Structure 1
């Protein structure tokens, strides 16, 4: 099953702590260079494989391919979804960032496997983010793309994860201080409420 908890990190220590407690996806997010992103991805790969965790790379399609990761997540300023899908091929996992139903439907049509939607709540993790779309915004995107996993990101806590109307959540700052404990709490929160099983986690 496609993981309902996504761990977004630039730390191998976080990867070590977060995997092995249940089904998770690890997204390597390095903003500085391909070289550093590649080094962290290749270091994280055996940890993820041993734990059965999915390994994704944020933004960097070339790094994901070179390192043998499971896929990529692209944002609004990255390679377009359709272009990323052409480069990655049909079997790789491809996530796309969106904020509303129109963007969500377009991303799915272009080959996105899942959608990262937000920010759900206010967060200081990343500068320059738009205003939060809130639980109603997350629910609207979920309703617009039935069968495609919607992963909420931005200000996620276990309490909020348990109430959002979406398939899963992505954690950044919530996981950093205590990766193992936070992963356990978030997985428990997600399992406490229903989530529609996705019908697609790769290309259309």
Structure 2
């Protein structure tokens, strides 16, 4: 069965392919080459649905879309839905990370709690819509470490570590991230819905 992934972000495409391959090998995820809709929702769920609806309408297929970001407790949940644009409209991942670190430079470790949140929307050609959420709790480091992942991964230290050594997600292997990430948690919650397709 084919399902379209509503994103032009190659990092998300690669991550979803890995997650889907491990959990639903019978599901063929195809890339989306249609127009990017305006994400004017005020929640992750609203923006995920906007993207999934556009991809389903464009292709006639069932569509998945992820909207995700990092939520920092001391910032009231920001950057949140603005994670990709935190330092401006250019979607500059390095500038976003540096700005967030600068904003938290004098915040002590006990107050650097944060979580990654992923909302995945599933829109079917018959009009049915579903959303699920995955949360990955942790805290923010004082400096970036590791070359893996993307976005805020190099400064995010998950509460649950796959090894005894505490590391940022930037130091995780791709397989470790796929096994533990907010997207994999959301996709796990989506499993029962996909099983009905």
TM-score by length of 2: 0.31
From the two aligned structures, give the one with the greater strand fraction: 2
**Bigger RCO of structures 1 and 2 (CA < 8 A, at least 6 apart):** 1
